[in-house]
Amino acid sequence: MNQPVAPIDFTALLDMLGGDRRIVTTLLSAFIEELAADLASSQEVVAAGDAEALRLLAHRIKGTSANLHARMLSAAARELEQACAEADAPVMTIKHQILMAQAQDLREVIEAWLASS
């Protein structure tokens, strides 16, 4: 039976940073603030129909989330970035909704982890 994929691999992130929970806490706190700002901006550029601005936001989210072992959000951002590059408005809309849902799930998991630290 397949296990569901977690929105973030805290173990890998901790290992990458030498097990220092303080550094991980600082990084994740900054990440969720930056992510909130990027998501707000993404909604504005979607409403404006600006595929290039949305592609750039998706690219940034993709890289940052990959670096923090948040692979599901990174994958969603990669798919949105591709849809933007192809200027496929209906697909962009769907991929943006998926990105928003993945970001919400990730934020909730990170906030729970931070609260338990």
- Token pair 């408005």 in the structure block, residue: 89
b or e along 36-62 (b: 16 or more beta carbons within 10 Å of the residue's beta carbon)?
eebbeebeebbeeeebebbbbbbbbbb
Summarised one tens digit per residue, pLDDT across range 32-91 is: 999 999 999 999 999 998 999 999 999 999 999 999 999 999 999 999 999 999 988 899
As assigned by CATH, the class of the 10-111 domain is mainly alpha
Q: Evaluate if residue 1 carries a pLDDT over 60.
A: no
With cut-offs at 50, 70 and 90, classify the pLDDT of residue 117: confident
Q: What is the pTM of this model?
A: 0.92
- The answer to whether 102 and 72 have CB atoms below 8 angstroms apart is yes
